[in-house]
Chains A and B, each alone.
Chain A
Amino acid sequence: MKKLTLLAVPAFAAAMAMSASSYAASSGSTATVTIKTPISVAEDTPLAFGTVIPTVATNSASVVLDFADGTSGSTNATVTGATSGDFTVSGADSSSFVLSGLGTVQMTGTGTDMPLTLTSSPAAGTLALSSGTLAIAVGGTLTVGANQASGAYTASYDVTVNYN
């Protein structure tokens, strides 16, 4: 007795034209793919608070750095050499994205840590690229403690952009 052998073939592995049209069907199809420009963010001008000199050593001080290199609200302190941070976001034109990061960081150095609360213009949130780019300015408020030890202080902060 001859054995009937069935050859099992995965359905998606091959295409075969059948003479009997009722056992198979085929249709033309189109495969499309869209390549999207990667989003990126680059620092153009570093954020810097320059040199801060408290007027009265025993009092705390606060320095507000705006988005145009200007300092205000510098109670009990003189500030020189402060510059706002400038960034450029690049990506697919008219795409929306989310700006995040910033927040509050601690500046560390020779003395007690000093909190720095960062802000941006435009503010963090959902934004849109125009002609494939968007400029972001970063400023913030630095709080100098009473009897803050003189010297250099530094902190790192994140600027994150994410297509949504």
Chain B
Amino acid sequence: MKLNREFLFSLSVAIVSFHLLDFSSSKAATVTPTVNVTIGAGGGVGPTPVIPETTTTVETTGDANGDGEITTTVGDAIAVQTSNFRAIAPAPQAAVTATTQAASAASQAATADPSSPAAAAAERFNEGARAASDYFGGASSVAVSGVPNQTYNITLPGETSYSTGAEIVDIGGFAHDAGATPQLSEAGSGTFNVAADVNDAGQFQTAGSEAGGEGDTVGDVGSVEQILATPVVTRSPFVSIIVSYN
């Protein structure tokens, strides 16, 4: 019997693909450095270091030496140099109303007859109105001086009133425009404005009758002259504004 020898080989070749990594040294790395510090002698051994005091040039609390003035090691006391409280705005409303009415009356009279005495009176009124405005200025200005760059406080008066003889005028609501933290300049100077509300408690009496149109008499326009002759506010009383270092 013939025996067939057959050798069977099966072979497969696979595609081999792989990544070569040296797991022992290339996938991770570590360094172990050291960190040092030296604790100085002030850390518990020896005397505590002395921190030098901060020098100051301004007394921080009012009149420390009791001489009636707030002084500084540098020198100048803070002081109000100038103020013009004689004019406090706004003008009493009654005066404003009266002058407005009078101006209207004078204008009407002048329009009706430019050559009439009313026209001449109107011209005088206009001059008087400009003069009257001098009595009613804008906000009062205040100039102060003291230590350069020093901050200071402003204390304004409360409500006050005075009599003009014709009426009582209330003044209140004082306010300044120096901001929350006023500060003197590098030259040691500063300015700020003060304004207030003026309330006319009385009734302004208009002299003469209502004027207007043709036939007005000098007497009617003369009421304007009477207003100008008797201003509601000639001048306001002085008020106190206090400035102090803080």
Contact = CB atoms under 8 A, between A and B. Distances in A.
A26 to B, nearest CB: 6
Secondary structure type dominating chain B contacts: loop
A102 B51 CA distance: 37
A20 B32 CA distance: 65
B181 interface: no
Interface string B48-73: 11010000000000000000000000
Nearest to B6: A23
B43 A57 contact: yes
- Interface extent on A, as a size class? 35 or more
A162 B33 CA distance: 18
Interface band, chain B = 35 or more
A124 interface: no
B19 A163 contact: no
Interface in B1-52: 3, 5-22, 25-45, 48-49, 51
B34 A54 contact: no
A54 B3 CA distance: 101
Contacts of B41: 53, 150
Given A11-B11, A156-B34, 15 more contacts: A14-B11, A16-B9, A25-B12, A51-B38, A54-B44, A55-B51, A109-B39, A111-B39, A116-B35, A148-B43, A150-B38, A150-B40, A156-B32, A158-B31, A161-B29
Interface of B: 3, 5-22, 25-45, 48-49, 51
28 contacts: A2-B3, A11-B9, A16-B11, A24-B9, A26-B12, A27-B13, A34-B20, A37-B26, A38-B26, A38-B27, A42-B31, A52-B40, A54-B39, A55-B48, A55-B49, A57-B44, A116-B35, A147-B44, A148-B44, A150-B38, A150-B39, A151-B38, A152-B38, A153-B39, A154-B34, A156-B34, A160-B28, A162-B29
Interface of A: 2, 4, 7, 9, 11-12, 14-16, 18, 23-27, 29-43, 46-58, 61, 77, 85, 87, 101, 105, 107, 109, 111, 114, 116, 142, 144, 146-163
Nearest 4 pairs of A and B residues by beta carbon? A38-B26, A53-B40, A49-B37, A162-B28
